[in-house]
Amino acid sequence: MLDFFNIDSLLSEDERAVRDSVRRFVDERVLPIIGSCYVDGRFPKEILPDLAELGVFGANLPEEYGCAGLNNVAYGLIMQELERGDSGVRSFASVQGALAMYPIYAFGSEEQKKKHLPRMAKGEVIGCFGLTEPDFGSNPSGMITMAREQADGTWILNGSKMWITNGSTAQIAVVWAKTNGDKSDSSIRGFVVPTDSKGFKSKDQKGKLSLRASDTSELVFQDLVLPADAILPKSGGLKSPLMCLTQARYGISWGAIGAAMACFEEALEYSKTRVMFDRPIGGFQIQQERLAEMLTEIVKAQLVSLHLGRLKDAGTFTPQQVSLAKRNNVSIATDIAREARRLLGANGILAEYSAMRHMANLESVYTYEGTHDVHSLVLGQALTGLNAFK
């Protein structure tokens, strides 16, 4: 990997060691199979035990719960390397760590943490995150999924969720629901829902032209009975799931860099070896400009995420800063993937190369976890104090 700005010099030895270990794993275990997984529309489940053994799930959560206890920069570098493989593989790790393990860690009781987190870190239990609904994506406060508390303290859950990564593979779903008939978003609470509960149904969403190496599902809850201890006791209001999304978006800002790096490296290599008009196409100004543009944006994105990671470790980062990083980095990655695909000419449409796979994947990443447009409005509100959502 080209490190044009010697950004490695800003990383500690263990941050580099973590990055290099995951990088080698992705080179040896993900890249050889991911093209065919994508074409077949299949998540590469076979890598999960080794990915868990490596320790990537919830890697920035504490060691006492069986996690690696890494800082947020090392965690970001893991996301970068996984997405250098494929956005679907990184999405799996993001969902498991930032969207399923994190809410249990942040809002769960000590019993819930001890019960779930070590097994999730080992990959023995897979989690998913249910917030988005068919009619409520950018506007989660409008959700209609409802949990009602019974006289005996148990809960009855009704509703549905959509676009749920890992939804059909998960053993537990962290589901966000309004409670006890209260339609305001302050009544939203999180629940740990075993997916083998009676009244739980999941169905894979078919016909995806993006994130094909990832499972995306619809979840339906019909009179699903949950024990009293299924509720995440410290969750309260829409703020709770949004805190999870801030964690995941932070990782996505790094992940997008990985996808961009993969496309850039592929385009650079191709430009040096592909001969047209009797010389490598890298000798033509138009391709050099493409490559210069890609490199520049990657370096800028790397510095943004790295600084954001340092702020996160210092405990001073804001969700608005995460919005800026996610918005910028995913946007430049989609552009880089498209330009790389173009540089590759006709070969660029083949699954044998990665550019078009990343290009299609990144359209999902551009849209999920707060669309690009929603992050524009978050920044707009931060700048002007005026809320464009209301």
Partner 1 sequence: MKIAVCIKRTPDSESRFKIAASSTAVDETGLKFDIDDFASYAVEVALQINEKQGPGETVVVAVGPDVVQETLRKAMSMGADRAVQLKTDAIPYDGLAVAKALAAELKAGNFDLVLFGKHAFDTSAGVVGTATAELLGIPCVTAATKLEISNGRGVARRELEGAAETVEFPLPAAVTIDEGIARPRYPSLKGIMAAKKKPLETKPAQLGAVRVTVKAMELPPERPAGRIIGEGTAAIPELIRLLQTEAKVL
Work out the number of other CB atoms within 10 angstroms of the CB of residue 305.
30
Interaction of residue 18 with partner 1, rule CB under 8 A: yes
What is the CA angle 210-215-220, rounded to 5?
Answer: 115
Least distance to partner 1, CB of residue 44, Å? 17
Least distance to partner 1, CB of residue 9, Å? 12
Instruction: Single out the residue of 7, 45, 49, 63 in contact with partner 1 (rule: CB under 8 A).
Output: 63
Nearer to partner 1 by Cβ, of 8 and 352: the residue is 8
Instruction: Single out the residue of 9, 13, 286, 386 in contact with partner 1 (rule: CB under 8 A).
Output: 13
Tokens of 191: 């629940």
Interaction of residue 14 with partner 1, rule CB under 8 A: yes
Least distance to partner 1, CB of residue 223, Å? 42
Span from 19-27, 126-134, 264-272, 294-302 in contact with partner 1 (CB under 8 A): 19-27
Tokens of 262: 């993969």
The position carrying tokens 């920069």 is 73
Q: Give long-range contacts, CB 8 A cutoff, 24+ apart: 269-272.
A: 270/343, 270/344, 270/347, 270/353, 271/343
Report CA torsion sign: 135, 377, 333, 289. positive
Interaction of residue 175 with partner 1, rule CB under 8 A: no
Span from 15-23, 132-140, 226-234, 320-328 in contact with partner 1 (CB under 8 A): 15-23
Span from 11-19, 136-144, 169-177, 322-330 in contact with partner 1 (CB under 8 A): 11-19
**Touching partner 1, residues 43-62 (CB under 8 A):** 50, 53-56, 59
CB 199 within 8 A of CB 179: no
Interaction of residue 182 with partner 1, rule CB under 8 A: no
Contacts of 32 (CB under 8 A, 6+ apart): none
Instruction: Single out the residue of 41, 69, 137, 319 in contact with partner 1 (rule: CB under 8 A).
Output: 69
Nearer to partner 1 by Cβ, of 46 and 111: the residue is 46
Nearer to partner 1 by Cβ, of 228 and 276: the residue is 276
Instruction: Single out the residue of 7, 17, 228, 276 in contact with partner 1 (rule: CB under 8 A).
Output: 17
Which residues have a catalytic role annotated? 369
Instruction: Single out the residue of 5, 10, 21, 48 in contact with partner 1 (rule: CB under 8 A).
Output: 21
Least distance to partner 1, CB of residue 189, Å? 32
Q: Which ranges in the chain belong to alpha helices (H)?
A: 13-25, 31-40, 48-54, 72-85, 87-94, 102-107, 110-121, 239-273, 285-314, 319-343, 355-367, 372-384
Least distance to partner 1, CB of residue 264, Å? 18
H or E stretch including 174? strand 172-179
Instruction: Single out the residue of 20, 40, 64, 124 in contact with partner 1 (rule: CB under 8 A).
Output: 20
Contacts of 53 (CB under 8 A, 6+ apart): none
Tokens of 133: 């609904």
Kindly determine how many residues on this chain lie close enough to bind partner 1 according to the rule CB under 8 A: 20
Least distance to partner 1, CB of residue 14, Å? 5
Tokens of 353: 């190369």
Interaction of residue 27 with partner 1, rule CB under 8 A: no
**Touching partner 1, residues 76-135 (CB under 8 A):** 78
Q: How far is CA 1 from CA 24, 182, 295, 356, in A?
A: 12, 52, 11, 20
Nearer to partner 1 by Cβ, of 55 and 103: the residue is 55
Nearer to partner 1 by Cβ, of 50 and 124: the residue is 50
Q: What DSSP string describes 145-172?
A: -EEEE-TTS-EEEEEEEEEEETTTT-SE
Interaction of residue 25 with partner 1, rule CB under 8 A: yes
Work out the number of other CB atoms within 10 angstroms of the CB of residue 29.
18
**Contact residues for partner 1 (CB under 8 A)?**
13-14, 17-18, 20-21, 24-25, 50, 53-56, 59, 63, 68-70, 74, 78
